[in-house]
Every structure is written in C-alpha cells, then in structure tokens.
Structure 1
Amino acid sequence: MATEWGALQHAYGSAEDTPPYLCQLLNEDPEAQAEALGMLDMSVLHQGSLYTSTAPAALFVAAILTDPRTSAEHESFFPWDDRTRPLRAALLDWLGNIADSASYGEDPGSEDEYAAEDDGEDDDEREAIQACRSIRRELYDAVAPFLDDPHPDTREAALGAVTLLLKAPDLSELVPHATHRLRSVLAADGSRRERASAVLALGAWGQDTTGLLDDPDPAVRTCAALATGCAHVPRATAVLLEALRNPVEADHWFPDRLPHFDGWPRFTLLKAVLDRVDAFEDLAPAAMALIPLASDYTVDRDWGPLLVKAFPTGYTPGLPLSAAQRELLKAVTANDKCWGDIGNKFLWLRKAGLPDQRDAIRALL
C-alpha cells in the first residue's frame, strides 16, 4: 500500500517533501547521499522527536540497507561530525536513534506518558511513537545481519542500533540469541572498541557481565562493571574506582567516544560509583584524581556531586572536618578553573552546606 506522505507530518509541516530525500539516499554521489540523510534527520527525526512520517521513513531506510549503494563512504552532512564512514553505518545509527526515542518512558518503574489515554493536542505525537514502536521487530530483522558486516564502522553502528532496539519489552525474546552472538565477539581477538561495545550492550540488556570483571583490558572490564547487574558486586565497584584513579587514561581509551558515554567516560564512571559507594572515604583517592580535571563547566558532573557525597548531611560549623573532607576542599579551592563566572557551583556548595566563597572555604581548613 502506497504511503500518503502528504497526509503525514514532520518537524516543518507536511511530509510531502520526504520521498525525494529517501530516494536521494541511493544517489551515486556520496555528497548527495549525505545531504539526504541530513535533511531526513532534521525533519522526520528533528532533535530526537518522532512524527507521523518517522515510521514509514524508517521502514524505507531499513529496506535499502542491503543495497550496494549504501556502502559508499561519505562525510557527514553536519559540520560537527567529522567522521568518514559508509552511508550504511550512518543509516544504522539513524535507525538506532529512532529506537531510542521510541523507547522513552518504557524503562521499568517509569511512567510511560505515551501509553496513557489522553485527549488533546498530543494525538499526533502519541500516534507517531506508537507507530515507531510497532515496527521495531522489522527494524531489528533488517539491522541484525550487519552485526557480522566486514566493515568495523558498520558493525559498530549495527550493534548500537540492536542495543537500543532490544531494550523494547516486546523484543525481549530476541535477547538470548543476540547475547550469544555478542559473547562470541567478546571471546574473539577483536578490537578494544568492539569488545567494549559488546559488553556495554550486554549490560544494557540486563545480562550477566561479572565474568568480564577480570578481563585483561581495563576498558572492557570497566564497561562490564557499569552494568546495572553489577551494582552490588564489590569487585565491580573496585574496577570502577581503579579506573577513576587514572581518569585521563580512561578518557582516552576510545579516541572516538563511544555513544554509550555521555561526555567524557570519567563522568559516567563517577556517576555509577557515587550510586554504589556509601562513604566518601571509599572514593576519596578517585576524587583527588578527578579534581585537577574539574572546572566551572564540569561542576554538575564531578566536583559538585563529590562535595555532596563528602557532606551528605551538610557541613556543620564547629565540627571538625575529616581528613578526606579536608583534602577534597583543599583540592577544590586550589583549582582556579573551578572558580569562574558560572553560577552552577553555588547550588552545589549550598547543598553541601558550604560557604559560597572560595576564601571562606579556605578559612575552614
């Protein structure tokens, strides 16, 4: 049945202009292909939003993945993405982003705002997300074969898309088969990046990663430790703390950052450790390694949460500081980069019960 594109919507109105861009993905000119994907990304998946045109566009993209023309190498349409890789890899990433947006609200314990019956202006949005959820099995069937693609960029993109697709509750029966495939990747002599991506995927699916906590590669064992199933495993916490004691090395494990990490890897590792460690003293050595890298710009990701961990009930004037608290405050006040004009730090200082001013904190030492 033909798609009535004029009856569908994207970010800028009617989606009647979408079919030419879909066809342009199969143009012989790599620059034209890159432009087409860029335009689709800006319209039918604008900033991660889903529209009534998103699902049919995704099905078209899934259907052309095997076309030889998608193996053409091209630069990204967007100036902030300097990668050169096969169009197929970029298309797989794009499908993964759709799966990620469609899964919003499906995590256990979260409220799925799209599942609730609601009248009003969000009918199109609800229709769009339900349509994207309904095609996830078809997308998986199209994406999964590329887990064995000979091109590493395509394999990585396929793994990223599969990881996001298999977070869907209705695809849970596919996880064991995908897990078996990824464990074969981990057993092989693959690259650090490929093995780390595989173990992060296993963790995202709730699979057991404890057997990799003693992997010879520190990046792989740290990725294994990040799995939620390792949250109460002491060895996993020790692995994370070990990595954080050398945060510069951890930040450069992957020259091209893995999509699983939000910013520098050290931020993801620290967030996990803060959730798992009860006493600040247990992570004090890691904190002291992190503070020299901290700044006004990173306060929400590192030294702010560390202050709150060190002073969980707030600083009490007159009470002596512990040795770990004292060393943390010394390091923070000694770092000029933490004391610029950005105001976020004041929220964290107040939350920790500490003075707003650098010199006032120094006076406590």
Structure 2
Amino acid sequence: MTPSPPWPIAGKTWSTTLRREGKAWPATAPTALLVAELLDDPLLGPDDPSLPDAMLVYLYVVGVAADLGEGAAEVRARVEDRARELRAWTDSHLSADADGRARMWQDGTGLGELVLDQAALACFDLVPALLRRVLPHLASERARRRTCAAAAVGSLARHPSASAQRPVLLDRLTSMARAAESSYDLATILIAIGHLGGDTRPWLTDPHAGVRGCAALAPGLTGDDTAERVRLGPAGSPRAFIESFGDMAPPLQFQSRPYGSLVG
C-alpha cells in the first residue's frame, strides 16, 4: 500500500518557512517550535492520523537545515559581531515594499546572507528541545509514525549535544530496522542510522534493491567495496531505485536534501 506522503498536508508550512533548497528562513525556528509543541496535542487533527507523521517529517527537514555541526561556533561569532547591523537590516526589511525587500538581499553588505546564517543558528539552538519532543514517537503504536520519528531522530541527533545519546539511539534504531514491516520503513530507518554514524552493512545484501541502496548510502561505508558496488546501482539509475519500491514513494528523506538530488 502506498504510504500517504505528508507533504500535501504540510505543504503550506513547508513552502513558507523553508527555503527551496531546504535551508532555514527566519521563520523556520519559531515554526518548528510550534510544530513540536502541537505534536502531541490530541485536539489537533483527530480525524487525520497522518498529520503527526507530517509534523515529524517537517522536524526532520528542520534538523537537516540546522546541521551546522562544529561550524556553529564560527557562525555564532559572525552573527554576534554584527548583531546591531542585523537588527537594523531586519527592521528595514520588514518596513520595505516587495521590490525594496528583494533589493536588500543583494545590497552588497552581506547582511542578507548573515540573516540566513542567523536563521540556521536559531534552528541549531532549538534542536535539543525538538529531539526531546520527537523521541517518544519512536514507541508509537503506528508503524508509519515510528518510521517518521526515526527519520527525524536521524537528523536531530546529529547535534553535538546528543553525542552521548547516540549509542543508545543507534541501538534503538537498529532494533526498529530489524523489526520493520515494510521495505519502505526499513529503508527510511537505515538512512537515519547512517546519518548517526551507525553500521548498515548487514543490509547491503538485502533482497530489496532499494533497501540495499539506502544501506549503502551510510557515510560510514565510504570506501567499503560492497557498499560501493551497491551504490553504483541507485547512483547510475535513479529511476530503477525509485521503481524498486513499486507503488510506494521512495523513503521520505529523498523528498528533500541531502538526498533529493539523487532521485530528482
């Protein structure tokens, strides 16, 4: 059965709070906080069980946008160094008309790009709170929700503050992968395991081509001969990779960066 993609449900939120390339706008962090706070609200969409799934996928994408890693300190220093200028630029941007706002992004001061860096930094600082909200959904009774939560954990737990949690989270995700009920869920979880530096080698020989391809994408398998042979399949024929999932959409991570270009 084809999983219901969460994007139609969250399309408006997606398009207005995330840049086309999946990076942050100034509105991204406040929106992500609201999404996380509403995630467990029983009054939100009681007749649409896919809505929390969509919210978890949104938080996955925010985690990707927030993945500054060790570069966060350098971004923070640049933002703080020009904090007064940034406030003035933002005030001017809010009061300008559409043409004026468009010109400001290319005004030669570099402040527009720094505003976007500041937006990514705000997401980075929010990630620990988002991760806390997502973790309980790994135990959901709904298989699709567990899978969406795994994807979100795969991006959010890359944050430096989660380094001590990662071994336990990887054990949890690996157990979920072994118990996955569909190739779609398994492939999605394997990408999350790879994001966190886990070992996906046991699935390089899986009978399903899409599962093998997702296992081979783990950054930790760079240089692995078996993984390289598997990667030649999806890398050389994205269409074949997509078609390996039959009437199902490819794993949700392929709908956005860093993997979207592989099947675009």
Q: Same fold, TM exceeding 0.5?
A: yes
Contact 2:135-2:149 at 8 Å conserved across structures: yes
Q: Tell me which moved more, 61-70 or 37-46.
A: 37-46
Gaps of 5+ in 2: 1-7, 86-110
**Which one has a bigger Cα radius of gyration?**
1
Q: Report what 2:108 is aligned to.
A: none
Contact 2:185-2:251 at 8 Å conserved across structures: no
Identical counterparts, % of pairs: 29
Q: Report what 1:235 is aligned to.
A: 226
Cα distance per residue 1:82-138 (max 9 Å; x no partner): xxx6211111122222222222xx257x79873342534356544433322222111
State the TM-score, normalizing by the size of structure 2: 0.69
Contact 2:188-2:252 at 8 Å conserved across structures: no
Contact 2:213-2:231 at 8 Å conserved across structures: yes
Amino acid at match of 2:76: A
Q: Report what 1:193 is aligned to.
A: 184
TM superposition shift of 1:253: 2.2
Pick one of 115, 126, 133 that aligns with 1:142. Answer: 133
1-side partners of 2:72 and 2:126: how far apart? 22
2-side partners of 1:158 and 1:266: how far apart? 19
What is the aligned-residue RMSD (CA, Å)? 3.4
Gaps of 5+ in 1: 1-33, 75-84, 270-300, 302-365
Contact 1:182-1:198 at 8 Å conserved across structures: yes
Q: Report what 2:63 is aligned to.
A: 99
Contact 2:194-2:200 at 8 Å conserved across structures: yes
More helix by share: 2
Amino acid at match of 1:115: R
* 1:253 partnered with 2:244: yes
Instruction: Note closer, same or farther for the CA distance 1:56–1:251 as it changes in structure 2 (3 Å cut).
Output: closer
Contact 1:206-1:227 at 8 Å conserved across structures: yes
1-side partners of 2:27 and 2:235: how far apart? 44
* 1:179 partnered with 2:170: yes
Q: Report what 1:159 is aligned to.
A: 150
State the TM-score, normalizing by the size of structure 1: 0.52
Amino acid at match of 1:160: A
**Whose RCO is larger (CA < 8 A, sep 6+)?**
2
Contact 2:23-2:120 at 8 Å conserved across structures: no
2-side partners of 1:141 and 1:224: how far apart? 26
2-side partners of 1:216 and 1:38: how far apart? 34
Q: Look up the SS of the partner of 1:206 in the other structure.
A: coil
